[in-house]
Chain A
Amino acid sequence: MVVAIIDYGAGNTKSLQFALDRLGVNNLLTSDADRIKNADKVIFPGQGAAGSAMKKLKHYNLDSLIIGLKQPVLGICLGMQLLCEHTEEGDVEGLGIIQGTVKRFTNEVKVPQMGWNSIHELNGPLFQGIENDSHMYLVHSYYVPKLHETVALCNYNGIYSVALQKNNFYGVQFHPEKSSSKGQLLLNNFLNLER
């Protein structure tokens, strides 16, 4: 099995590569269209600002490529948010795979949310063997509201989506590569998905 991590200059991909190494999985960081299309699984990481991330994706022609992928795709953090059609962060259009708008936490809470939060109402194959109330590591200022595609919830300044799934597209707001054993379990579940 080969896992392609989409390379568009997004933040800390080294930790993700190391997490996949620890799981003994062949992985490569690439922006090459053929290598991404031919991978068994694709991970779409993200960190930093939505606007510059979308610009870079378009620059490498990766936006339409991602939308057309047929194998399981996992968006992480900003990668999950960009699966949505729109984000308030810089008023930017996302990939539009999932209908919904990414919103900013209000200043009633500290922004960014930083740290380990518990996750609830876990559904679908990503969360197999992960108990309700498990903690995952999150760092983010924007969030996806509860949607039809929501497969896990979190609470910070209210209930929001901490994981999404639509067809072969999966997204998690937390960083599984930084979420200790539970995060590793989630990554492993993703790797075990049938094509």
Chain B
Amino acid sequence: MLTKRIIPCLDIKDGRTVKGVNFVNLRDAGDPVELAAQYASEQADELVFLDISATEQKRKTLADLVLRVAAAIDIPFTVGGGIISVSDVEILLKNGADKVSINSAAVKNPNLIDELANQFGSQCVVVAIDAKQINGQWKVHLVGGKVPTELNLFDWAKEVESRGAGEILFTSMDHDGTKQGFANEALAQLSEEINLPIIASGGAGKVSHFMDTFTYGKADAALAASVFHFGEIGIPELKKELKLQQVAVRLDG
């Protein structure tokens, strides 16, 4: 049976993890490679690296990091943050990234989705969508949720699917950082209207939130950052609990 995925997200700036990380057994909590290896050993199913640096060196630094991550870990990982062109993607995939995530660039230039899908295959194209509710309507936002657009979440998700994306990473800006649970109603509607895997993001605070997003939210995967980084939820414990509650998860050996 296909299992539900648990995905820690690492924010990266200038090649280092950004948010404080509270792992007692890491020598260098700021080293994304060491943190990635730790998560892989704890049976995280996948990793997402989100580069938020804005320097001119950014591309090279990120490409170098991808190479070091690929050398160290044997689970799939996605890289996102500031990707705007086919050539950006080419170097990241060549260096060992399994998937790339595009967000604002896809809204500004939807053809990028088609180009990436045609050149590299849909399987490596994740479109990240940040949205929040305005007057009861889910509106897509850009630049990390700062800039509102007129795009409706569900319309945009359908377009993304038809252009050849392989997966959607949906972050609810209304839920992100609240630790009150994922946007399960919108997630369930996405799963009903879209025939792509959906990653839930924004709102993870406790184990039951994951349970809820996999059942009520019909999510295929759940992404979180701080609850994992600060050790508030351990991935093995989370997976054991999900399994007890009859959610299919990978818990090997």
B166 touches A114 (CB 8 A): yes
Q: Specify which of A21, A180, A182 lies most central, judged by the most chain B CB atoms within 10 Å of its CB.
A: A180
A135 touches B220 (CB 8 A): no
A116 touches B5 (CB 8 A): yes
Determine the chain B residues whose CB is within 8 A of the CB of A15 once the complex forms. Answer: 70, 74, 96, 98
User: Smallest distance from the beta carbon of B130 to chain A beta carbons, Å?
Assistant: 21
Determine the chain A residues whose CB is within 8 A of the CB of B121 once the complex forms. Answer: 11, 47-49
A116 to B221, CA, bound (A): 11
- When C-beta atoms are compared, the residue in chain B nearest to A178 turns out to be B76
Tell yes or no: B2 within 8 A of A by CB.
yes
Given A178-B74, A178-B75, do A134 and B167 touch, yes or no (CB 8 Å)?
Answer: no
User: Smallest distance from the beta carbon of B119 to chain A beta carbons, Å?
Assistant: 8
Given A107-B195, A118-B1, do A182 and B252 touch, yes or no (CB 8 Å)?
Answer: yes
Given A112-B123, A180-B252, do A155 and B1 touch, yes or no (CB 8 Å)?
Answer: yes
- When C-beta atoms are compared, the residue in chain B nearest to A114 turns out to be B197
Name the contact of A135 in the complex, choosing from B3, B95, B167 (C-beta under 8 A): B3
Question: Contact string, A29-71, partner B, CB cutoff 8 A, digits 1/0?
Answer: 0000000000000000001110000000000000000000000
A11 touches B75 (CB 8 A): no
Tell yes or no: A163 within 8 A of B by CB.
no
- When C-beta atoms are compared, the residue in chain B nearest to A157 turns out to be B2
Interface secondary structure of A, over-half rule: mixed
Q: Specify which of A11, A107, A115 lies most central, judged by the most chain B CB atoms within 10 Å of its CB.
A: A115
Question: Contact string, A103-123, partner B, CB cutoff 8 A, digits 1/0?
Answer: 000010011111111100000
- When C-beta atoms are compared, the residue in chain A nearest to B99 turns out to be A139
Near A by CB (< 8 A), chain B positions 118-149 give 120-124
A115 touches B221 (CB 8 A): yes
Determine the chain B residues whose CB is within 8 A of the CB of A107 once the complex forms. Answer: 195
Tell yes or no: B65 within 8 A of A by CB.
no
A112 touches B197 (CB 8 A): yes
- When C-beta atoms are compared, the residue in chain B nearest to A183 turns out to be B74
A110 touches B75 (CB 8 A): no
User: Smallest distance from the beta carbon of B248 to chain A beta carbons, Å?
Assistant: 8
Determine the chain A residues whose CB is within 8 A of the CB of B253 once the complex forms. Answer: 181-182
Tell yes or no: B67 within 8 A of A by CB.
yes
Interface secondary structure of B, over-half rule: loop
Chain B contact residue count (CB 8 A cutoff): 37
- When C-beta atoms are compared, the residue in chain B nearest to A154 turns out to be B2
Tell yes or no: B250 within 8 A of A by CB.
yes
Tell yes or no: A141 within 8 A of B by CB.
yes
Q: Specify which of A19, A113, A137, A140 lies most central, judged by the most chain B CB atoms within 10 Å of its CB.
A: A137
- When C-beta atoms are compared, the residue in chain A nearest to B40 turns out to be A180
Given A12-B93, A140-B123, do A115 and B74 touch, yes or no (CB 8 Å)?
Answer: no
Determine the chain A residues whose CB is within 8 A of the CB of B220 once the complex forms. Answer: 110, 114-115
B71 touches A117 (CB 8 A): no
Near A by CB (< 8 A), chain B positions 69-115 give 70-71, 74-76, 93-98
Near B by CB (< 8 A), chain A positions 168-195 give 175, 177-184
A177 to B74, CA, bound (A): 6
Determine the chain B residues whose CB is within 8 A of the CB of A155 once the complex forms. Answer: 1
Tell yes or no: B45 within 8 A of A by CB.
yes
A55 to B252, CA, bound (A): 39
Near A by CB (< 8 A), chain B positions 49-63 give none
Near A by CB (< 8 A), chain B positions 204-253 give 220-221, 250, 252-253
Name the contact of A181 in the complex, choosing from B3, B67, B97, B252 (C-beta under 8 A): B252
A110 touches B74 (CB 8 A): no
Given A115-B3, A135-B3, do A178 and B98 touch, yes or no (CB 8 Å)?
Answer: yes
Closest 8 CB pairs of A and B: A48-B121, A14-B96, A135-B250, A139-B123, A116-B250, A117-B2, A114-B197, A18-B71
Additional 4 contacts, C-beta under 8 A, given A15-B96, A139-B76, A179-B75:
A12-B124, A47-B123, A117-B2, A178-B76
